[in-house]
Amino acid sequence: MRCPYCHNADTQVKDSRPTEDNTAIRRRRFCPNCGGRFTTFERIQLRELTVVKKNGQRVPFDRDKVARSIDIAIRKRPVDPERVERTINAIVRQLESSGESEIQSQTIGELIMRALANLDQVAYVRFASVYRNFREASDFEDFIGRELGQRDEVHD
């Protein structure tokens, strides 16, 4: 692992331990060249995933893109960061354990929407407004009316 400060390729691991949710290994590293200390997180990747976009383009799956999408949706919302991390991990595990190496981008979007619906209602609507490409206020009204109507039916 290269040092982020001097880019030396010969760094030393000083401490390794699993993260609290056991989805990654946290390593404290030291650079003998510049004396810098830094932390890395190594995640176990079950399989290489490829995302098939709407236009047919194929790109490697990027966990960080899922995390950024969720972070944008929950910005300035009172959501515990650990819950967010567990949610992201759950989405990735679900994709990796699906048995498919190619995943439709719509599948990922739907998984994120379902996860956000359980995490924070405002974040859910924010994400949906971009994902479903809302163009005017009535799109919000229709979506919220449908979603609240479905939830009321479930609770009856």
> What pLDDT, on the 0 to 100 scale, is given for residue 8?
93
pLDDT value of residue 47: 65
Name, in order, each residue with C-beta under 8 angstroms of 32's C-beta and a sequence gap of 6 or more: 8, 10, 11, 12
pLDDT at 98: 84
User: Does residue 2 sit within a domain?
Assistant: no
Task: Verify that 39 and 54 share a domain, yes or no.
Answer: no
* Whether 30 and 95 share a structural domain: no
In a domain, 6, yes or no: no
The count of structural domains within the chain is: 2
Residues 66 and 38 in one domain: no
pLDDT at 148 (0 to 100): 61
3-26 confidence digits (pLDDT tens): 999 999 999 999 999 887 777 889
The parent domain of residue 20 ranges over 12-43
Which is more confidently placed, 148 or 105? 105
Same structural domain for residues 89 and 122? yes
60 and 131 share one domain: yes
